[in-house]
């Protein structure tokens, strides 16, 4: 009896989670609409997990992107996210900067400010130039998951975690972000002593982050990498997501066992020791 009750409770929990994410039928319907809209224009449309993926590369290449999405999503869901995005998201993969810009204009009336890609929550779409590589795709995939699971996340963590996975590997069944092209952005700030204190990064507003006079992406990314490399990132996330302090200062100091002022030189030294 007790076992039966437990099974029922688990089934209820599972169906509650599943009902929030789009159903396969809804995804197929959306994919059908897109196939019709894009017929004869050189696009491939595929449903993968809770996403619809649209690409203007060869069907074979689009399929390899689909496999990449599947791999990323499985790993980040396992480590961080209980909930899938609750709406149908379409991932638009354009093969180069020209088709990306033209597609963003044509389908979304957007003029992208970034050459790589972006997540538009309003349009339920991830729109990207996949030409330079899949790093943008793994970055952008993190955003709708943060939105669904940690809506109060500050920009530094949203972008820090997304940027951590721009050069992803799998290590012992977990996603692992390796040191990437953003490193010089961080080390040059440390070397010329223009790096603001960690507390300033953590307490920055959304506008403050995106318009920062320092390389906020690099700083946030490597803070996440420090936690990852020291086996503390998932533990930090789990504490942070339920913490009322949405800057992360308290959770971070607790996980580190140090005040931020004490940790700063440790972090700077570690960052200067990294090699790409
Ligand atoms: Zn981002």
Span 52-75, pLDDT tens digits: 999 999 999 999 999 999 999 999
Q: What is the pLDDT of residues 35-49, one digit of tens each?
A: 999 999 999 999 999
Whether this model's pTM surpasses 0.85: yes
User: How many angstroms is it from 116 CA to the middle of ligand 1?
Assistant: 10
Q: Give the domain ranges of the chain.
A: 18-149, 169-273
User: How many angstroms is it from 143 CA to the middle of ligand 1?
Assistant: 7
Superfamily of domain 18-149 in CATH is: Collagenase ColT, N-terminal domain (3.40.30.160)
User: Could you please report the per-residue DSSP string of the chain?
Assistant: -HHHHHHHHHHHHHHHHHHHSPPHHHHHHHHHHHHHHTTTTT-EEEEETTEEEEESS-HHHHHHHHHHHHHHHHHHHHHT-SS--SS-EEEEEESSHHHHHHHHHHHH----SSSSEEEETTTTEEEEE-TT-THHHHHHHHHHHHHHH-TT--HHHHHHHHHHTTSEEEETTEEEEPP-TTHHHHHHHHHTT-PPPHHHHHT--HHHHHT-SS-HHHHHHHHHHHHHHTT-HHHHHHHHHT-S-TTSHHHHHHHHTS-HHHHHHHHHHHHHH---
Q: Is the pLDDT of residue 19 over 80?
A: no
Q: What is the pLDDT of residues 125-179, one digit of tens each?
A: 999 999 999 999 999 999 999 999 999 999 999 999 999 999 999 999 999 999 9
pLDDT at 276: 87
Q: Is the pLDDT of residue 28 over 50?
A: yes
User: How many angstroms is it from 64 CA to the middle of ligand 1?
Assistant: 22
Whether 117 and 136 have beta carbons less than 8 Å apart is answered as yes
User: How many angstroms is it from 135 CA to the middle of ligand 1?
Assistant: 11
User: How many angstroms is it from 262 CA to the middle of ligand 1?
Assistant: 29
User: How many angstroms is it from 137 CA to the middle of ligand 1?
Assistant: 10
């Amino acid at each position: 009896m007790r076992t039966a009750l437990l099974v029922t409770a688990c089934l209820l929990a599972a169906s509650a989670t599943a009902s929030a994410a789009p159903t396969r039928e809804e995804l197929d319907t959306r994919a059908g609409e897109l196939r019709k809209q894009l017929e004869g224009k050189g696009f491939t449309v595929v449903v993968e997990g809770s996403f619809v993926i649209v690409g203007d590369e060869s069907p074979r290449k689009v399929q390899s992107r689909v496999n990449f999405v599947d791999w990323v999503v499985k790993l980040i869901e396992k480590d961080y996210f209980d909930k899938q995005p609750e709406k149908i998201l379409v991932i638009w993969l354009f093969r180069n900067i020209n088709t990306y810009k033209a597609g963003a204009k044509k389908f979304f009336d957007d003029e992208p400010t970034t050459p790589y890609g972006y997540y538009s929550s309003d349009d339920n779409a991830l729109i990207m130039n996949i030409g330079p590589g899949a790093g943008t795709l793994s970055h952008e995939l993190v955003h709708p998951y943060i939105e669904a699971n940690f809506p109060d996340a500050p920009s530094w963590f949203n972008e820090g975690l997304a940027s951590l996975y721009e050069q992803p590997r799998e290590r012992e069944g977990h996603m692992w972000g390796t040191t990437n092209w953003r490193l010089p952005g961080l080390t040059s700030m440390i070397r010329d002593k223009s790096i603001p204190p960690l507390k300033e990064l953590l307490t920055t507003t959304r506008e403050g982050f995106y318009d920062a006079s320092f390389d906020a992406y690099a700083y946030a990314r490597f803070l996440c990498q420090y936690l990852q490399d020291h086996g503390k990132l998932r533990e930090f996330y789990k504490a942070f997501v339920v913490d009322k302090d949405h800057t992360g200062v308290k959770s971070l100091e607790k996980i580190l066992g140090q005040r931020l002022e004490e940790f700063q030189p440790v972090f700077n030294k570690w960052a200067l020791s990294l090699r790409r």
